[in-house]
Amino acid sequence: MSAAAPDDYVRRRFRVPREQVGFVRMIVEGYDGLAVVVTPDPAVGIIEWWIAPGREDEAAALACALARVGLSEL
């Protein structure tokens, strides 16, 4: 069970190859203030993005770009 995102944040769940979890976390969190990456089940590559208010479009664009490494929304 994952923790709860703050009320004003948007939560999106993704699956990514296990070996890419750290890479995706590093890229997402490198966008200062965009999102927090939570790994409720890293063993199977399930991650969540807690997206800051007003940054949803930027996060969506980044998710599309990260599809190259196998990121897919659940």
| Domains, in order of start, for the chain | 10-73 (3.30.70)
pLDDT: which is higher, 6 or 63 = 63
In percent, the amount of the chain with pLDDT more than 70 equals 95
Residues 40-66 have pLDDT tens digits of 888 899 999 999 999 999 999 999 999
- pTM, to two decimals: 0.87
What is residue 5's predicted lDDT score, i.e. its pLDDT? 67
Give the pLDDT of residue 1.
Answer: 47
Handedness of CA 16, 21, 24, 29 (dihedral sign): positive
Angle, to 10 degrees, between the axis of helix 56-66 and the axis of helix 21-30? 150
Average pLDDT rounded to a whole number, residues 28-46: 93
